[in-house]
Each structure stands twice: as structure tokens, then as C-alpha cells.
Amino acid sequence: ALELRTSKEKLSAVLKEKQEKMMASGSSKVMLAFREKLPAYKTKAEFLKAVAINQVVVVSGETGCGKTTQLPQFILEEEIACLRAADCNIICTQPRRISAISVSARIAAERGESIGETVGYQIRLEAKRSAQTRLLFCTTGVLLRQLVQDPNLTGVSHLLVDEIHERGMNEDFLLIILRDLLPRRRDLRLVLMSATINADMFSKYFGNAPTIHIPGFTFPVEEFFLEDVLEKTHYPIVSEFERRQSEQNKDPLTALFEEVDINSHYKKYSKSTRQSLEAWSTTKLDLGLVEAGLEYICRHEIDGAILIFLTGWDDITKLLDKIKGNCLLGNSSKFRVLPLHGSMPTINQREIFERPPSNMRKIVLATNIAESSITIDDVVYVIDCGKAKETSYDALNKLACLLPSWISKASAHQRRGRAGRVQPGVCYRLYPKLVYDAMPQYQLPEILRTPLQELCLQIKSLQLGTVASFLAKALQPPDPLSVQNAIELLKTIGALDDVEELTPLGRHLCTLPVDPNIGKMLLIGSIFQCLDPALTIASALAHRDPFVLPINRKEEADAAKRSFAGDCCSDHIALLKAFESWKDAKRNGRDRAFCWENFLSPVTLQMMDDMRNQFLDLLTNIGFVDKTKSRKEYNHYSDDLEMVSAMLCAGLYPNVVQCKRRGKRTALYTKEVGKVDIHPASVNAVVHLFPLPYMVYSEKVKTTSIYIRDSTNISDYALLLFGGSLLPSKTGEGIEMLGGYLHFSSSKSVLDLIKKLRSELDKLLQR
């Protein structure tokens, strides 16, 4: 024991000496001067004292005040300086991968070390850390998985949970676990960091934990709403025919706007502006308007970086194209245009933060990731489209949707604040003041608007008891019906048994960080030797569809997509074939032209390719794929499209619709909502009569009507063999599925055979 103590003391001494040497170096003095200017620096002593005497501390402060980069660092420096480094193990969670990397790199730089020494990061399938690492940034998901192995977080001395104001599902989930853990780990220190002043709720949740507020300093930011932007830019909004067909339900804010008498409300504006405002209320996000605003700033406003908030990859890539074709903005010697998106694989970190040469203007096209988790200092102009992609969940109809929707006032405030970091700034809002006034104060927490099946699996794998009683302890508990739906689904796909315990299949699905249905598809693909199609389709379902929808050439794009599907009646097979053809084109060096001709997004295809490799690694880790074997062994049936359809059925069940002939057309019915339609973007939208009696689909969305997106026509055999559990039918002749919704009548011998085959299949999955 004595030896252990002395070796620990030695280690602590070594680290202290190293830190002191670093601090004394010239470059670190420059950094220190920068750090001392951050508002967080002034609360250093108060913060360290609070952490020393309280188990939980809540810290709030405006974005950019130095929470993420400074607070963990204060603890680290203090622990090293007090010769406690050997026993110190600080973890700071981030909701997104990209910020875990960027922040750890920043702190390492501030300390004059390379990343992976005292400061490191770990994200899914990627890490930079060493035995020396004392401060680790990881995604919340990584910490949750660590909790499976080690429910007490043994050895962790300090845990900082960042960005809790976002109310992400993982963070809300983690907070429940931590509240239960704290009494068992009296020595563990917990710091919660929030970008909004509204920290009281968190403090209450943790038994009135003390809160510290870091007063921020920002320059004033002038604010313009759409009406002013229109006056400045003279941009005429025309609601295109295309847009009127908008699939989206009219959201309440737009509806509100339509009721307003524009003329009386906007008297002081010109007639053309009032007309544009009126047209605006029926349009989706108008990228032409964004471009016009951008061009206006570049022509009329003095230097300074511009940050544009868009809703997602789609808008970002489309706007990038527009900028490229713009005669002013397309000049790459004058403008440095950079995309910033959470799922970018490896972004060029430095360029985003660097100041460009003096004759150049930086333009960043970002999603809401730039709202609070990444701070770009030199931003002077913000263009805010007012929307963000948000998932929502309709528990009654079991519908999930991911659609752009209006942000909250809190988000709008955040976005504006990004412009005033180094000097007074300007924020251009591309929506009227009226819409701003009607925005909700805060966004609904994610746990209340997402399907809960992945979360339920996690609760089970962490052995946290029954799902319902566990989730009842959340900051804002989800609707019991959503919980019940999730459990039911997990039982249906065979991940949970009757008493809500994980089956072996459920255990495998826990290790795959994707939706359980997609996970099951991957497992089936590897067992039934159609691995490559499973990887491809799963990557598109987990990420996004590679088909792009050009505004003016929709028909050509639809035709291109249909030609990939051939006569298969399957969107999934269309995307599979598109991906395979892209791979071929890439080998011949003509992938760019190929994408252009076929309306495919090269960025998405590349991302899918990366994801396929990640999935393959995961399948290897859990023993479903042996990488030493030839890839062929897993792909005997990859060209057999009936087999691929059957695999899709196994993965997508219970997303099944019945195709019933009604005259010259097929009508589609689901168990939950009755009649549904095929999404207009599907290759199946133009098919009148389907050859096979059933259809599986990836997603059901409710907009103007209820649509199924991405569907595949399948045979009854596929359903009988690969669909969910069978029940003997009430009449005794035949079998039933989907709780009796589907009925198959057949001779006893055929039924017995099917049952035998299915029990073999179950054995394979439940091994």
C-alpha cells in the first residue's frame, strides 16, 4: 500500500511539474491572456470553491463566456496543482461528436500540449486519449454506454454535463441516472452547465443545488426582421407552384400570419414589401432570400464574418451551390465559404475558427450547432432563417416526423447573440416580427417528442428497472402512451420478452447505436448473406436519403430514381442500386458526373459509405461478421432481390401495409391509422396495381395526408417467414400477425413448415 501511495505521489508530482513548465512558456502566456479575458475566468475562485464543498453545482452563462473550455480546465489545473492528479479523472459530456473533438483540441492548445495527452476525447468509434489523460471529453452516448459496464462510474472524480439547456434526450436520461447514483458515490462531483439563465429547474431537480451565473459580455446587436430585409434587398418573394404543394401542414405560426391584415399591420412599408410578406407566408424556406440577404451584406456592410443558420444539410448544400453560381459571392479569392454541420465526418476545424486574410470575408453556413455548442468569435453578421429540424412524435398514431419547424424565442436570442462577440453586430431575421412574437419561449424537450424505443433498450441494458417507473423520474416525464408504444414495439421485434426483459437479440441491438429496427436489419443481413445491401440500406435509413429533389427538374429526378428501382416497386432497392452504381462510377473516376446525371448527393453517398464501414466494425465486434473471412461469404444472396426484400421485411416489421385491390388501383391500409398514401417522392407513387400483397415502409409521416415514405412491395412468404411473431388464428385455420390484423389461411402442413423455419430463424437471432 505504501508503494502504491508513493507511486501515486510521484505521478502527481510529475504532472504538476509538467504543468508549471507549460504555464511558464511564452505561447501559454499568450493563451492565458486570452483566457483571462473570458467572463468565466472571473468566477474561477467562486466556482472551485463551490465544487469543493457541494456535490452538485449548476452553472449558467451565455454562450461563449467560457463554460466548456474553462470550467473543466479550472478543475484540472487545481487538481494537478494540489498534487491530486493521480486520483483525478474528469469527464465532460457533449451532446455532439463534433464539439467533443473541437473543445478538447482547443483546451490542449490552451495548455500547450497535443490532444490526447492530459486532455483527450472519445466519441463513437474514435478516440484520442492516453494513460496520462485526466480530462476527457466524450459524447453523452459514450458515457451512457460506459455506464453499462460500470454503473458506479468507478474512478471518475468529476463529471461535467454540458449543454443541459438543450434538453436533449440523452442528457435528460443521464440526469435521471446521476440523481440516483449520487448517494452511492458521495465523492463524485457533478457540474451541470447551461447556456440559459433558466437554471432553477435543474437546481431543484438536484435538491436545490447551488447555482452560479456567469455574467456575460456581448456587444449590442442590431436586429432586422423580414419586413426590413425586404425593404433593403428589394427581393420579390414568389410562392412557386412547387411550394404550394408543400407537404407540410401549415404550422400555427404561418397560419397566424395569414390571418393578419398585412396592409394595416405594415403600413410603413412599401407595397411590394407587403405583397412579398403575404407571399412569404405560403412558402417554405426561400434560399433565394438568404442569398439576397447575404449579397446585401457583402455589398453594403463593412468587413466581418457572416454566420447563416439553416435547417440542415439540404439547405446547406443548396445554398453552397447558389453561392458558387453567384457572380459576386462565387469569387473564391474574396469569400471563404464554409459549411458547418453536426454530422460532418472530419471538418476542417481550424478554418472555421481562423480569421481569414484581411481581403477575405468568411461565410459560415451552419445548422443550430453554431447556436450554442460551437462559438465562432469573429462573427459580426447573423442571418437567421428561424427554423430548425425538429423531430416530433405522435404517440396516438405512432407517427414520427423530422421536419423543419419554428425555433423558440430562446434559440432566436442565442442566434442573435452570436453576432456581438468582438464588436457590435447585426442580425437579419428572415421572418416577420409577428412570427417572432408568436414563437414559444422554449423548445419542447426531446424526450417528449421522440419515439422512445432506443431509450427503452438503453434503460434495459443498464438494468434500471421497469421502463415506466424509471422514466417517471425524469425532469419532464414522457407520455405513458409513448412509453407503452416503445415497449410494445420492442416486444414485437423480439428485443424484449413478455416480462420486459432483454432477449439475446435485444442485447445485440443495445450495442448497435441505431434505431432497433435498423439494427435488426443489419443482423438479418449478416445472417442471411446479404450483408452489403443491409449495410447500404441501413446507412441511408440511419443517415439520410442520397436522392436530391431539384426544384425545377422533379420529373427527371423521379425518372432517374425509378430507373434504379427497375420493376422492383421498392425505394430501398432504388437506393441500393444507386449506391452500387455510384461505387462503380467512382472506381472509373466519373462519380461527379454520375451524381449530377442521376440527381444524387455525392456528400450523402460518401457519408453512407463511411457509415457502412462503422456498421461493419460494430457487427464484427459482436461476432456477427468475421473480417478474416472473405466478404463474399456474407454476400451470397446480395444480388437476389427477393432475398433483399425479405431482409427488408425482417428489419422494417411491424411497418407493414396491406395492399387491397380497388378496381384499377391498389388501396393501402395500416393497422393503426387505416388508409394511407404513398409519398409523392416514392418510386411507388406512380404504380397503380402492385404485384405483391404487402408493403413494408421505413417511416409514416403525417402532413396533408398520412404518407408512407420509402416503401418496398413484398410477398406473403416474406412476411410469414420474417415478420413478427405468429399467433394461431381464432378460427384455428391459419395464422395471424400484428395482433390479429393480418390473417393467413393455409393448410396445416404448410403452417407447420413455416413455424419450423421460423423457430430456426429465431435461434439464429437469439444466439
Count of residues that interact with Mg ion, criterion CB under 5 A = 2
Q: Provide, rounded to whole angstroms, the least separation between the CB of residue 67 and Mg ion.
A: 5
Pull the grid cell for residue 338. 464554409
Q: Residue number with the shortest CB distance to Mg ion?
A: 68
76 is a site residue for ligand ADP (CB under 6 A): no
The option from ligand ADP, Mg ion, none interacting with 669 (CB < 5 to 8 A, set by class) reads: none
Among 59-67, 634-642, 674-682, 719-727, which window interacts with Mg ion (CB under 5 A)? Answer: 59-67
The option from ligand ADP, Mg ion, none interacting with 375 (CB < 5 to 8 A, set by class) reads: ligand ADP
63 is a site residue for ligand ADP (CB under 6 A): yes
What is the C-alpha to C-alpha distance for residues 514 and 527, in angstroms, rounded to an integer? 18
From the list 64, 404, 546, 654, which residue makes contact with ligand ADP (rule: CB under 6 A)? 64
For ligand ADP, the closer CB: 137 or 335: 137
From the list 269, 353, 669, 744, which residue makes contact with ligand ADP (rule: CB under 6 A)? 353
Question: What is the DSSP secondary structure assignment for residue 216, as one 8-state letter?
Answer: -
State the DSSP H helix or E strand holding residue 661, giving kind and residue range, or none if neither.
Answer: strand 656-662
Q: Provide, rounded to whole angstroms, the least separation between the CB of residue 375 and ligand ADP.
A: 4
Q: Phi and psi (nearest 5°) for 131?
A: -65, -25
Q: Phi and psi (nearest 5°) for 283?
A: -100, 160
Among 66-74, 181-189, 686-694, 704-712, which window interacts with ligand ADP (CB under 6 A)? Answer: 66-74
**Edge-to-edge strand order for the sheet containing 735-737?**
727-728, 735-737, 742-744
Q: Provide, rounded to whole angstroms, the least separation between the CB of residue 387 and ligand ADP.
A: 22
Number of neighbours of residue 143 by Cβ within 10 angstroms: 23
Q: Provide, rounded to whole angstroms, the least separation between the CB of residue 449 and ligand ADP.
A: 25
CA distances from 459 to 27, 177, 340, 452 (A): 46, 10, 33, 10
From the list 351, 377, 626, 752, which residue makes contact with ligand ADP (rule: CB under 6 A)? 377
For ligand ADP, the closer CB: 62 or 446: 62
Reduced to 3 states (helix: H, G, I; strand: E, B; else coil), residue 213 is strand
For ligand ADP, the closer CB: 70 or 311: 70
For ligand ADP, the closer CB: 59 or 323: 59
What is the C-alpha to C-alpha distance for residues 386 and 474, in angstroms, rounded to an integer? 29
Q: Which residues of 275-312 are buried (b: 16+ CB within 10 A; e: fewer)?
A: bbbbbbbbbbbbbebbbbbbbbbbeeeeebbbbbbbbb
Number of neighbours of residue 77 by Cβ within 10 angstroms: 18
Alpha helices in 250-400 (DSSP H): 252-259, 262-265, 271-280, 287-300, 313-325, 349-353, 369-372
What is the C-alpha to C-alpha distance for residues 569 and 544, in angstroms, rounded to an integer? 20
93 is a site residue for ligand ADP (CB under 6 A): no
* DSSP of 394-434: ETTTTEEEEEEEE--HHHHHHHHHTT-SSS-EEEEESS-HH
66 is a site residue for ligand ADP (CB under 6 A): yes
Reduced to 3 states (helix: H, G, I; strand: E, B; else coil), residue 1 is coil
The option from ligand ADP, Mg ion, none interacting with 106 (CB < 5 to 8 A, set by class) reads: ligand ADP
Alpha helices in 622-683 (DSSP H): 641-652
From the list 68, 539, 601, 670, which residue makes contact with ligand ADP (rule: CB under 6 A)? 68
425 is a site residue for ligand ADP (CB under 6 A): no
Q: 567 to 596, contacts with Mg ion by CB under 5 A?
A: none
380 is a site residue for ligand ADP (CB under 6 A): no
For ligand ADP, the closer CB: 65 or 457: 65
Of 103, 115, 119, residue with least CA distance to 68: 103
Alpha helices in 341-500 (DSSP H): 349-353, 369-372, 409-417, 433-438, 453-461, 467-471, 480-492
38 is a site residue for ligand ADP (CB under 6 A): yes
* Pattern 322-351, ligand ADP, x by CB under 6 A: ------------------------------
For ligand ADP, the closer CB: 61 or 513: 61
Among 61-69, 317-325, 583-591, 757-765, which window interacts with ligand ADP (CB under 6 A)? Answer: 61-69
Q: Provide, rounded to whole angstroms, the least separation between the CB of residue 71 and ligand ADP.
A: 8
The option from ligand ADP, Mg ion, none interacting with 752 (CB < 5 to 8 A, set by class) reads: none
Question: What is the DSSP secondary structure assignment for residue 570, as one 8-state letter?
Answer: B
> What is the amino acid identity at position 178?
L
The option from Mg ion, ligand ADP, none interacting with 714 (CB < 5 to 8 A, set by class) reads: none
Among 60-68, 483-491, 495-503, 551-559, which window interacts with Mg ion (CB under 5 A)? Answer: 60-68
From the list 12, 28, 68, 196, which residue makes contact with Mg ion (rule: CB under 5 A)? 68
Q: Phi and psi (nearest 5°) for 38?
A: -70, 140
Among 65-73, 491-499, 642-650, 712-720, which window interacts with ligand ADP (CB under 6 A)? Answer: 65-73
- The neighbouring-strand residues paired with 222 are 426
Evaluate whether 540 touches 671 at the Cβ level (below 8 Å).
Answer: no
Q: Tell me how many degrees the CA angle 38-44-46 measures, rounded to the nearest 5.
A: 135
Q: Phi and psi (nearest 5°) for 415?
A: -60, -40
For ligand ADP, the closer CB: 422 or 673: 422
Among 64-72, 226-234, 498-506, 541-549, which window interacts with ligand ADP (CB under 6 A)? Answer: 64-72
Q: Which residues of 440-459 are buried (b: 16+ CB within 10 A; e: fewer)?
A: eeebebbbbbbbbbbbbbbb
Count of residues that interact with ligand ADP, criterion CB under 6 A = 15
Among 67-75, 148-156, 310-318, 633-641, which window interacts with ligand ADP (CB under 6 A)? Answer: 67-75
What is the C-alpha to C-alpha distance for residues 215 and 211, in angstroms, rounded to an integer? 13
Q: 97 to 126, contacts with ligand ADP by CB under 6 A?
A: 102, 106
Q: Provide, rounded to whole angstroms, the least separation between the CB of residue 175 and Mg ion.
A: 17
Q: Which residues bind ligand ADP (CB under 6 A)?
A: 38, 61, 63-70, 102, 106, 353, 375, 377
Q: Which residues bind Mg ion (CB under 5 A)?
A: 67-68
